[in-house]
Amino acid sequence: MKTIPTGWWPSAVSVTGVCLGLTLLVEVWVVTTTSGPSYSAFPVGVVTSVPFVVGLIYGGYWLAESELPPDRYDQVGRWWIAGVVVTVLLISVINTRVQPVSAFLVVGTVRWSAAIGGSVGLAIGVLQARAVLRGREAERIRQRRRQIERERDQLDEFASIVSHDLKNPLHTAKGHLELLREECDSPHIATIATAHDRMDTIVEDTLALARAGQEIGDTEPVELASVADTSWETIEASDSTLHVEGTRTIDADRSSLQQLFDTLFRNAVEHAGPDATVRVGVLEDDAGFYVEDDGPGLPEPELGDVFESGYPTAAEKPGVGLRIVGTIVDAHGWEITATDSADGGARFEVTGVEPTV
């Protein structure tokens, strides 16, 4: 059995409405210009048919332009046809019992019933299709929430392992290394100490990434300049300079936003050197903000990889710093891109940021 193409339904509805409208015009012309047949309810039938005929014509166009996916058209179309068939049969049975049957009466009955029944069926079909879509979307949201909860539990477990099972042995190793330093003088001690410090940094970065991967807290109106200044005070950049060239108030999780600035500022100082100049400002189209420096910049082939784990945050220091930035941006529903600054350094643009009203 052949199925009707889903894209055919909107056109069928509108064309049916046009045909019913033309039929109505012909009936009116016959009654007003000739001494042709008529029936007592004809004027009422004409008046009540018009809005439903117009509704069908527009309804088909609306269906094609609506948010309903084409795979729901069959459901809407079946309701439309059911409305036409049931109403035509019901009204035809009633009319044959209350007044003499004629060809003119049959045409008027079918036209009136098809217009009203089709419009009602179309409305029911659309409402049901929307209800199905809302149900699917609600289920998708529930599944996504359950997935987020599972991921959060896994991150919590991971963070616990990192913070206790890794940091405790590391602190023990550091303590014994200090005892060893007192007992003997070996060039290998400095190498071991450097490795311990690097391991400690990796642990802290990994914990930060795990925390950034969880859902952000409650957002609040936050002024960019205030958070940027606070963040700058927390990093070791006494010889570097921060210029805040514009500010705005946005909805954000203050703690996460400060962590974003901390990471970008440290990255700028590590790459550009101790006398770096860092700038923070608002994008020209007011769609977000940027952080840029006057350092050596990012190699062109690597611009799309800077937010992946393992990208070096400083010379020969692979880490997860910029991956943390990407995770915080994603958690807020924003987007971030890496490009070149006017001074040839690195520039990070955060877009999709809605200002507070």
Q: Residue 307 above 70 pLDDT?
A: no
For residues 260-268, give the mean pLDDT: 87
Q: Is residue 356 part of a domain?
A: no
- Per residue in 159-204, pLDDT tens? 677 667 777 788 888 888 888 888 888 888 888 888 887 777 777 7
Task: Using alpha carbons, list the distances in angstroms from residue 230 to 89, 261, 283.
Answer: 76, 9, 21
Q: Is residue 200 part of a domain?
A: yes
Q: Is residue 269 part of a domain?
A: yes
Assess whether 224 and 300 both reside in one domain. Answer: yes
Assess whether 23 and 128 both reside in one domain. Answer: yes
- Per residue in 109-163, pLDDT tens? 888 999 999 999 999 999 998 898 888 888 988 888 888 677 667 766 776 776 6
Assess whether 92 and 119 both reside in one domain. Answer: yes
Boundaries of domain holding 200: 153-212
Of 162-171, 226-235, 261-270, which gets the smallest average pLDDT? 162-171
- Per-residue pLDDT band for 318 (boundaries 50, 70, 90) equals very low
How far is it, in rounded angstroms, from Cα 349 to Cα 339?
8
Q: Is residue 148 part of a domain?
A: no
Assess whether 50 and 170 both reside in one domain. Answer: no
Domains of the chain: total: 3
Q: Which of 167, 188, 212 is the last residue of a domain?
A: 212
- Per residue in 55-102, pLDDT tens? 999 988 888 888 888 888 888 999 999 999 999 899 888 877 777 777
Assess whether 297 and 234 both reside in one domain. Answer: yes
Q: Which of 143, 168, 197 is the last residue of a domain?
A: 143
pLDDT of residue 82: 93
Q: Residue 227 above 80 pLDDT?
A: yes
Q: Is residue 3 part of a domain?
A: no
Q: Is residue 81 part of a domain?
A: yes
Q: Is residue 166 part of a domain?
A: yes
Assess whether 236 and 333 both reside in one domain. Answer: yes
Q: Using only C-alpha atoms, what is the Rg of the chain?
A: 35
pLDDT of residue 72: 87
Assess whether 273 and 178 both reside in one domain. Answer: no
What mean pLDDT, rounded, does the chain reach? Answer: 81
Q: Which of 212, 236, 251 is the last residue of a domain?
A: 212
How far is it, in rounded angstroms, from Cα 110 to Cα 147?
54
CATH number of the domain enclosing 234:
3.30.565.10
- Per-residue pLDDT band for 315 (boundaries 50, 70, 90) equals very low
Q: Residue 305 above 70 pLDDT?
A: no
Q: What is the pTM of this model?
A: 0.49
Assess whether 331 and 239 both reside in one domain. Answer: yes
Residue labelled with tokens 């609040």 = 220
Q: Residue 317 above 60 pLDDT?
A: no
Assess whether 137 and 249 both reside in one domain. Answer: no
Assess whether 197 and 106 both reside in one domain. Answer: no
Q: Is residue 284 part of a domain?
A: yes
By percentage, how much of the chain surpasses pLDDT 70?
A: 83
How far is it, in rounded angstroms, from Cα 344 to Cα 347?
9
- Per residue in 4-32, pLDDT tens? 555 688 889 999 999 999 999 988 888 88
Q: What does residue 318 show for φ and ψ, rounded to 5 degrees?
A: -60, 140
Assess whether 78 and 110 both reside in one domain. Answer: yes
Assess whether 171 and 62 both reside in one domain. Answer: no
